Amino acid sequence: MKPLLFFILPFFMLGQSESSTALPWLTSYDEAITLSKKENKNVLVYFTGSDWCPPCKMLKRDLFDTPEFAELAQDYVLLYVDIPRNRDLLDAEQWRHNQKLLIGLNKKKVFPLLTVLNAKGKVLDNYSGYGMTGEIGYHLKFLEKNK
């Protein structure tokens, strides 16, 4: 019985660690702005192409899945805007919502893009791209500066 426990236990621990680091990314602009006003925090908008953008995937791993980001994220309301090539990944309403945000907040259609908004929806700052080097220092400074 003990050998089976040692085999299964790591899988349970893996699942727990993933869920404990999950951050509360919203997908509704209106919800994000409302929460921003309520909590007196800026909104961090993350534009990604989840199914086609290699730098976006690497940024998720190198930045968003780190304890450093989890700590800084507490100072923001997080808004996730996905623009996948496979439209089936989003329902039609979410697709329209994200396209509207793309037109309004990411006119150059740059991915990945981090944009900071105040509680009134005004753009305060943005930072685009990811050099695929694993260097997230610039992103952390950007987040620290715009809290």
What's at 72, amino acid-wise?
L
Identify any residues that bridge with 42 across adjacent strands, giving them in sequence order.
76
pLDDT of residue 134: 82
pTM over 0.75: yes
What is the DSSP secondary-structure string of 14-35? HHHHHHHT----B--HHHHHHH
User: Which pLDDT belongs to residue 102?
Assistant: 98
DSSP for 94-119, please give it: HHHHHHHHHHHH-TT--SSEEEEE-T
Q: According to the model, what pLDDT value does residue 34 have? A: 98
Those residues with Cβ within 8 angstroms of residue 127's Cβ, 6 or more apart along the chain or in another chain: 113, 114, 138, 139, 142
Query: Which domains are delineated in the chain?
Result: 22-145 (3.40.30.10)
**Cβ partners under 8 Å of residue 65, min gap 6:** 21
pLDDT of the residue at 50: 96
pLDDT at residue 17, rounded to an integer = 32
3-state secondary structure (DSSP) of residue 3: helix
Specify the residue for token string 């100072």: 75
Q: Which residues of the chain have pLDDT under 70?
A: 1-21
